[in-house]
């Protein structure tokens, strides 16, 4: 009865927290590839191979459904995995689509033609690999017309969060928001397109100002997973125990995770 949650490191914990609150009866197995984070500065092949290794480990832990709680892996590897690699009886889903559906005022699975939506100027904050993939703009173009997107690659923020250096992370977020504003002075919405960034959501909102609506993924992904499992309950795999797996140092990763989620989290070696 387990569902897998994959991330390059600690960022997916923002999604884990939301899905655990939304679906308390489902055991989740979390995999953080902390030894190889950040993914955002890696090339697409590298991200593909690392993501496959993590997802395989989650399949072995009894998960038939794995959520890539990582935009970088969702943008750079998911489509290739679904086309060439995911076994028939397993599912791997990403975190992009729920966010874009919310932004474009759509319900799950609404594949009607693109149309005009309320937001017109969207600021996208994401890792360099996610920005380079243009996956966000592609998914958006399937659903909306007339939306101007300005993307800001937020180099350094994930490293700082993984290192627990929140002062550096805050300074970097403020400078990336300044850089974005030089390209798009008045965004009406901002997308936090990396699952690490909700840990800095207050700083993003403060730097952007109260007129900008900030879209963050965790709750949107939780709603979408609840809807999916309602339709496909058989995709809850045979695993019964929640677990936290890491490729990094379990003691160090546990301490950081505990600090972020404000409850004791014990990681073990993947």
The single residue among 51, 71, 224, 246 that binds ligand DGL, judged by CB under 6 A, is 71
Q: What is the largest CA-CA distance in the chain?
A: 51
- Is 51 among the residues that bind ligand DGL (CB under 6 A)? no
The single residue among 70, 153, 189, 218 that binds ligand DGL, judged by CB under 6 A, is 70
- Is 34 among the residues that bind ligand DGL (CB under 6 A)? no
- Is 247 among the residues that bind ligand DGL (CB under 6 A)? no
Q: Is residue 38 within 8 Å of 8, Cβ to Cβ? A: yes
Query: Measured between alpha carbons, how far is 187 from 41 in angstroms, rounded to an integer?
Result: 26
- Is 219 among the residues that bind ligand DGL (CB under 6 A)? no
The single residue among 57, 143, 176, 196 that binds ligand DGL, judged by CB under 6 A, is 196
Q: Is residue 136 within 8 Å of 192, Cβ to Cβ? A: no
The single residue among 20, 34, 130, 247 that binds ligand DGL, judged by CB under 6 A, is 130
Query: Measured between alpha carbons, how far is 170 from 163 in angstroms, rounded to an integer?
Result: 13
The single residue among 127, 219, 247, 254 that binds ligand DGL, judged by CB under 6 A, is 127
Q: Which of 29, 52, 55, 70 is catalytic?
A: 70
- Is 27 among the residues that bind ligand DGL (CB under 6 A)? no
- Is 198 among the residues that bind ligand DGL (CB under 6 A)? no
Residue 63 is among the residues annotated as catalytic for this protein: no
Query: Measured between alpha carbons, how far is 144 from 37 in angstroms, rounded to an integer?
Result: 33
Q: Is residue 51 within 8 Å of 81, Cβ to Cβ? A: yes
- Is 7 among the residues that bind ligand DGL (CB under 6 A)? yes
Binding segment toward ligand DGL, per CB under 6 A, in 7-15, 24-32, 100-108, 171-179: 7-15
Q: Is residue 6 within 8 Å of 68, Cβ to Cβ? A: yes
Residue 194 is among the residues annotated as catalytic for this protein: yes
Binding segment toward ligand DGL, per CB under 6 A, in 19-27, 101-109, 192-200, 242-250: 192-200
Query: Measured between alpha carbons, how far is 25 from 28 in angstroms, rounded to an integer?
Result: 9
- Is 256 among the residues that bind ligand DGL (CB under 6 A)? no
Nearer to ligand DGL, 232 or 259 (CB): 259
> Which residues bind to ligand DGL, rule: CB under 6 A?
7-9, 11, 37-40, 70-72, 127, 130, 158, 194-196
Q: Which residues are catalytic?
A: 70, 194
């Amino acid at each position: 009865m387990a569902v897998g949650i994959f991330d390059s490191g600690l960022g997916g914990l923002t999604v884990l927290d939301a899905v655990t609150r939304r679906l308390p009866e489902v055991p989740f197995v979390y995999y953080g590839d902390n030894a190889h984070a950040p993914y955002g500065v890696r090339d697409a092949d590298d991200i593909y191979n690392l993501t496959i290794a993590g997802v395989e480990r989650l399949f072995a832990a009894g998960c038939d459904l794995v959520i890539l709680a990582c935009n970088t892996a969702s943008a750079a590897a998911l489509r290739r995995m679904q086309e060439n690699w995911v076994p028939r009886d397993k599912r791997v889903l990403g975190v992009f689509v729920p966010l874009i559906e919310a932004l474009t005022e759509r319900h799950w699975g609404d594949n009607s033609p693109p149309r005009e939506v309320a937001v017109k100027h969207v600021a996208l904050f994401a890792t360099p690999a996610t920005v380079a993939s243009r996956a966000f703009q592609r998914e958006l173009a399937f659903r909306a017309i007339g939306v101007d997107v300005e993307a800001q690659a937020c180099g350094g923020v994930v490293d700082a969060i993984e290192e627990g250096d929140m002062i550096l992370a805050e300074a970097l977020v403020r400078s990336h928001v300044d850089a974005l504003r030089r390209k798009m002075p008045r965004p009406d919405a901002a997308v936090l397109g990396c699952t690490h960034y909700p840990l800095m959501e207050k700083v993003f909102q403060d730097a952007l100002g109260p007129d900008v609506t900030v879209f963050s993924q965790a709750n949107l992904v939780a709603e979408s997973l609840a809807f999916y499992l309602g339709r496909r309950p058989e995709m809850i795999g045979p695993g019964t125990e929640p677990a936290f797996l890491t490729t990094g140092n379990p003691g160090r990763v546990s301490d950081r995770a505990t600090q972020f989620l404000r409850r004791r989290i014990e990681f073990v070696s993947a």
